[in-house]
């Protein structure tokens, strides 16, 4: 029944967008967590999306859902700051700040929330249509 497939696709979309929102939240929350070494510092995380084409061909559905392949850490250079007064400063007096770009994260968050919303609307429309199908031929 392909109307159920639409629900499934919309739910993969919602799942993927919520992973994206989740990583954005974590990035923003950690935007100011400093540390005393390069390795320990938080690095911005972003999910990688891919179309779930293999599943689409196996169960004979026409549309493709989306899946999260994994989460990659940004390789941008960290911000190193000279702050000898900071308790977390290393022996040379430097602290390391995450490479989170707040502006980028905010834009990403808006895009993710719009994407989530779209998928919810699809599920809602499908539900309405499905109800109509179930009522087919009823009443006077």
25 binds other proteins (CB under 8 A): no
**By CB under 8 A, what part of segment 92-121 binds other proteins?**
111-112, 114-115, 118-119, 121
Contact with other proteins (CB under 8 A) among 18, 35, 126, 127? 126
Question: Which residues fall within 8 angstroms of residue 129, CB to CB, at 6 or more apart?
Answer: 3
16 binds other proteins (CB under 8 A): yes
What is the dihedral angle through the alpha carbons of 35, 40, 45, 51, rounded to the nearest 10 degrees?
180
Least Å distance, CB 57 to other proteins, is 9
Q: Between residues 61 and 101, which has the closer beta carbon with respect to other proteins? A: 61
Q: How far is CA 98 from CA 36, 51, 56, 78, in A?
A: 11, 30, 39, 6
For residue 45, list its beta bridge partners.
Answer: 73
CB 89 within 8 A of CB 35: no
58 binds other proteins (CB under 8 A): no
Binding mask 32-51 for other proteins (x = CB under 8 A): ----------------xxxx
Least Å distance, CB 102 to other proteins, is 20
CB 123 within 8 A of CB 7: yes
CB 100 within 8 A of CB 31: yes
Task: Tell me which residues touch other proteins (CB under 8 A).
Answer: 2-3, 5-6, 9-10, 12-13, 16-17, 20, 48-51, 56, 61-66, 111-112, 114-115, 118-119, 121-122, 125-126, 129, 132-133, 136-137, 140
């Amino acid at each position: 029944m392909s109307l159920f497939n639409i629900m499934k696709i919309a739910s993969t979309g919602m799942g993927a967008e919520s992973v994206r929102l989740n990583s954005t939240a974590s990035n923003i929350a950690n935007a100011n967590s400093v540390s005393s070494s390069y390795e320990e510092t938080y690095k911005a995380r972003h999910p990688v999306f891919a179309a779930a084409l293999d599943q689409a061909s196996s169960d004979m559905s026409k549309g493709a859902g989306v899946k999260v392949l994994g989460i990659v850490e940004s390789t941008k250079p960290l911000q190193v700051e000279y702050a000898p007064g900071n308790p977390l400063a290393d022996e040379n007096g430097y602290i390391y700040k995450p490479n989170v770009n707040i502006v980028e994260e905010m834009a990403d968050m808006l895009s993710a929330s719009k994407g989530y919303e779209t998928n919810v609307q699809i599920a809602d429309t499908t539900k309405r249509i499905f109800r109509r199908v179930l009522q087919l031929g009823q009443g006077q």
